[in-house]
Amino acid sequence: MHKKKYPFTQNRELSWLKFNQRVLEEAADQRVPLLERLKFAAIFTSNLDEFFQVRCGSLTDMGLVDPNQIDSKSGMTPDEQLSAIYRETKHLYTMRDNIMKNLNKILVALHIMPVAWKDLNKKQKQHLTRYFDSQMMPLLAPQIIDFHHPFPFLINKELYVFFQLIEDGKKRYGLVPIPDYLERIVYLNDEKTEYILAENIILHNLERIFPKQKILFKTIIRVTRNADINLDAKDIEEDEDYRQYMKKILKRRSRLAPVRLEVYKNYSEEPINYLCSQLHLSKQQVFVTKNSPLEFAHIFKLIDQLPAELKKPLLYEPFTPETNNRLNPDKPIIPQVLDHDVLLSYPYEDIDQFIRLLKEASEDENVISIKITIYRLAKNSKIVHYLRRAVENGKDVTVLMELRARFDENHNIYNAERLEEVGCNVIYGFDDYKVHSKIMEITYKTDNGLKTITQIGTGNYNEKTSHQYTDFSFITSREDIGKDATNFFQNMNISNLNGTYEKILVSPHQLKEKIISELDHQIELANEGKPACASFKMNSLTDLDIISKLAQASQAGVKIRMIIRGISDLLPGLEGLTDNIEIHSVVGRYLEHSRIYIFGCGPEAKVYISSADFMTRNTERRVEVAVPIEDPELKKKLLDYFETQFSDDAKGRKLLSSGYYSNVETDRDEPFNSQDYFMQQAKENKFVAPPEPVIKPEPVKPIKKSWIARLLGK
């Protein structure tokens, strides 16, 4: 290992693994409902799958291109980084096995049982053997590997039974692919509380497929392949449609080189060495699991199928997002947002309020156009439905669809085609820059001329994830921000990344410069002996320019506090380097996804929300948007949000200078969970219509007798 160029940084991949360990720790937390703990184990596994496909895949490629390239933040070559990742990951596998062993004990006590073959009674084994013969074996395609049947291609993340047998005195290897169309969960009772996984049934009935051979070794395996595809515009034919090019390039993903081999329980040197030689993997890249299945996707279906009365107390208490206190749900949205700014906070407030705005815009005769950038969408997206309706109703609709949203590429291609077929103007951004911004503009005709409604958010236009991720969505009719939004979409249409804007910050050519400029201003204040602060909430921090500026600001006396959910390449609290930086991480019921930038101290601070993390890919290689929040009430909402979450000592952890996490120390008697607090606040602050004014009748004045007399002429 070489000397680090930056003494206050750590390796990003190891930092990410520590974050994913925090996810796994939620599966061990006894304060978390039991079935939610099972979900966290599944999320940890899914996260790790993607990490190996993308990050390990990228490092593997890097090692082939330039094996001596040194990571400036850790002093490691690509191979050294991979070796460190493999060592750390093996500890995580052991940790997951121990957690799953304990979880399964509790589940069995509650009669929710994943049953091992050895624990089946005679009647159950007979039933499953008949089930295997009639329902499974006809669908299997076993293969013996020999001269005429070479080692097959193993599909990314698919399950296989791998075995060694002896036939005519010769040892041979074979594979049984487990088709993904098989029912993965096979229930053993009508209540659907006892079950066995399909791969275990096949594993234990392998001898029925090869009755004349002796099975020497058998196990279940899964291969993970590199999914880090690099797109090169030079490969696109001159007359080729961009969508068709993307479809073609995506086919390559499933055939890229293996980066990991997982083995279930049974391990033997000779067969595993054979697999490694065929897959060109080292023993470092082999991971054995003892008490956990290799694939956890079935967990969510399993929980859905459990009897309601059994699972209800074992899950989080249901939470319904509330209405924002600035939006009357009984009145149209458009007139309200034309009148005042709104800041939605997901998942505590309902994304349906935004969708209602889009629905109204699709139908309102005064709406002329809708423009929007899209990165990820829900299945059967209402967003796409109302954009299509807007086109059908004669609106001019422009959608900038990013086709390179990793693992959502096919879904985005499908939606782009659906939008184009009704006449929507769909554009695809830039060759070298992903468009990751979340911005929408509605142009509205009024008696006083054209007005704009602009929405800028921190998260995707995705109805499903808005109930799982924390994000902010700002809606305004401010003329200056509307003008910026108009310029932004015009620039996107003409592929101009160098546009200038009055209020919003746009990467790759403006956002980072503004962040550094604002930090420089805080440094100047500190040098003058004035209060100087900066606070940030985001998912990841890797940009070296910003990291260096944060370290400089720290040593100038600027108080820096950060909430970083995942990767932090910056190490806080290092004496003489980052003394004044404190970093927390919150992992809880909801995935923390919002980005907040705060420059300054107290209520006078400048506050932004943004789609961009402080990662080099966001600040230099993506189109991102940040917007200032200047409405005093909404700004206070964000400042209070940050302070509340920074004080979380239930799900919050403090990043140490070693790169590990510790509990957040407070004087409270009871741990404080910020997400629980925000749910309660949403209930208390939801919109309540003011009571209808009571019109009191005017009191009847007594008629004076003298007046009556005059009236009667008396």
Annotated binding site: 47, 376, 406, 469, 565, 593
Q: Give Dmax over CA atoms of the chain in angstroms.
A: 139
Rounded distance between C-alpha atoms, residue 162 and residue 275, angstroms: 9
C-alpha dist (Å) from residue 167 to 146, 176, 421, 530, 614: 12, 17, 59, 83, 59
Instruction: Give the SS3 label for residue 623.
Output: strand
Q: Are 396 and 425 in contact (CB under 8 A)?
A: yes
- DSSP for 180-230? TTS-SEEESSTTS-EEEEHHHHHHHTHHHHSTTSEEEEEEEEEEEE---PP
Rounded distance between C-alpha atoms, residue 555 and residue 550, angstroms: 9
- Count CB-CB contacts under 10 A for residue 364: 17
Burial 365-401 (b: 16+ CB within 10 A, else e): eebebbbbbbbbbbeebbbbebbbbbbeeebebbbbb
What is the SS3 string spanning 456-509? EECCCECCCHHHCEEEEEEEECCHHHHHHHHHHHHHHHCCCCCCCCCCCEEECC
| Cis upstream peptide for 690 (omega within 30°) | no
Of these residues, 149, 340, 436, 584, which one is catalytic?
Answer: 436
Burial class (CB in 10 A: 0-12, 13-18, 19+), 303: middle
Which residue type, as a one-letter code, is found at position 245?
A: Y
Secondary element (H or E) of residue 177: strand 170-177
- Count CB-CB contacts under 10 A for residue 582: 19
Residue in the structure block whose two tokens are 């009556």: 708
Rounded distance between C-alpha atoms, residue 556 and residue 578, angstroms: 10
- Examine the residue annotation and report whether 436 is marked as an active-site residue of this protein: yes
Residues in binding site for Mg(2+):
376, 406
Any idea which residues carry the catalytic annotation?
436
